[in-house]
Chains A and B, each alone.
Chain A
Amino acid sequence: MDRSGAWPSAFCYRVLWALNLKSLKYEYLEEDLANKTDLLLQYNPVYKKVPVLVHGGKPISESLVILEYIEETWPQNPLLPQDPYDRAMARFWAKFGDDKDSEEPSFMAIFIIVGEEQEKAAKEAKEQLKILEEQALGEKKFFCGNRIGLTDIALGWIAGWLDVIEEAAGLNLLEAESFLRLHAWIQRFKEVPGIKEQLPDRHEMLIYYKQKREMFIAS
């Protein structure tokens, strides 16, 4: 089983985390998105994007579709609850915060704009985080309950990427005092075996996003 990914795509990490949590063996192929391989174009002709999971020669794209495939093909360490209603809630919140048009968290928008527009986007982003904390997480340990699940994986960009993007964009959305529960979740999430060993290097990410930010401002 192969996985094509491009560091530091948060959506690629979703797939890596799911594979790790299920103790699955895989081969990882790093893609240079400025210079895509023929293999990637063959496996994802529609979007030409990562992540792509290839299992037994059959390609699957779109991170959330891949997660459901992994869950259905390897039922050990289930990432979704049994009950249909709980599953529906898990799916609903997993999609929340994804930009409809691209495989990016919608928060990436705050990263590429400046000035007043950025302020407005930042305000909206904070509201979304509030909703996630109050309605999706509530008093639970993880979004999916007592154990890590699909929703946690899908929202993992909050744990590994959000603070880096904030720093690169000069914002502070997820203030510790205002988001106690989300911060607690972030700590818990990062400690889970399978996640812990698979988090991108913060220092390198900061350099990467700062450079990108410079590029966006310059253009």
Chain B
Amino acid sequence: MEKQSEVVLFGTWSSSYCTRMKLALKLKGIPYEYVEEDLSNKSHLLIHYNPVHKKVPVLLHNGKAIAESLVILEYIDEQWNHAPKLLPEDPYERAKVRFWANFYDQKYKPSTYRFMTSKGKEQEIAIEDSYEVLKVFEEGIEKNFPRKSPLILNGDMFTLGFLDIVVGSSACNYKAVNEAVGVAQDPKKNPAFWSWMIAMKECPLMKETLPPHDRLVAKIRSIFSHPSA
């Protein structure tokens, strides 16, 4: 068993990348100390541990720091390689998970930021565009993961896997996003995706780890109406 202070997570409560880390650590039963960062006033420790990007999340384990959420997730799975595993065993399955995790981060997430930061006609176009991107993602998941959801079976229980963590950490906040931005993402456009999100939201671990709704609504409003902040 790790001592409390051996694992430290630097994060911010509203960052979905940080939520990923909490989900993974909790899934693996790893006790950790959490340090909340104020991104407008970053701590010396954060800058010391992530001098290259100066961003959260940063995971500190036995004094050694790791940055970049996807790199950290792989680290967690390898360092504490007991069940539940985050990544599947088979190399080809792992390649598929990594590919779609990258797609989600590099293609879908930016498309959501675009509709969150635009208004009027521009926003309408941006939101349509995000449906298209999500459609590609959804079809990719359907085609590549036979159970239509990468939720991993560990014994008799479905637990969250790598892709669930990557995707759910942000997409499960859809209610807060819709409310904050004043837009309703049409669930009929990507029904398989949204039913996966709804199912994940009910998972107790997800429920307790996602940021609180009202606070998140307020936070999103403040970030996206003042993008220069």
Residues of A at under 8 Å CB distance from B?
Answer: 46, 55, 58, 60-62, 65-66, 68-69, 72-73, 84-85, 87-89, 91-92, 95-96, 100-101, 131, 135
Q: Which residues of A contact B78 (CB under 8 A)?
A: 84, 87
Q: Which of A66, A85, A88, A91 contacts B95 (CB 8 A)?
A: A66
Query: Which of the candidate stretches B11-19, B33-41, B67-75, B160-168 sits at the interface with the other chain?
Result: B67-75
Say yes or no: is B103 at the interface (Cβ < 8 Å to chain A): yes
Given known pairs A60-B99, A65-B98, A101-B106, the reply for A85 and B92 (CB within 8 Å) is no
Q: Which of B75, B94, B95 contacts A84 (CB 8 A)?
A: B75
* Complex: A92 Cα to B64 Cα, angstroms: 14
Given known pairs A46-B136, A88-B75, A135-B51, the reply for A69 and B92 (CB within 8 Å) is yes
State which residues 52-66 of B face A: CB under 8 Å. Answer: 52, 61, 64, 66
Residue in A60, A89, A92 with the greatest tally of chain B CB atoms within 10 Å: A92
Where chain A touches its partner, the secondary structure class is helix
Say yes or no: is B204 at the interface (Cβ < 8 Å to chain A): no
Cβ of B94 and Cβ of A68 under 8 Å apart? yes
Given known pairs A66-B95, A68-B95, A101-B106, the reply for A84 and B79 (CB within 8 Å) is yes
Q: Which of A60, A61, A84, A89 contacts B92 (CB 8 A)?
A: A60
Show 11 A/B contacts (Cβ-Cβ < 8 Å), sorted by A: A55-B92, A68-B95, A84-B75, A84-B78, A87-B78, A88-B72, A88-B75, A91-B68, A92-B71, A135-B51, A135-B52
Question: From B106, which residue of chain A is reached at the shortest CB distance?
Answer: A100
Cβ of A62 and Cβ of B99 under 8 Å apart? yes
Distance between A31 CB and nearest chain B CB, rounded to angstroms: 19
Distance between A143 CB and nearest chain B CB, rounded to angstroms: 14
Distance between A86 CB and nearest chain B CB, rounded to angstroms: 10
Q: Which of B64, B94, B136 contacts A72 (CB 8 A)?
A: B94
Cβ of A62 and Cβ of B102 under 8 Å apart? yes
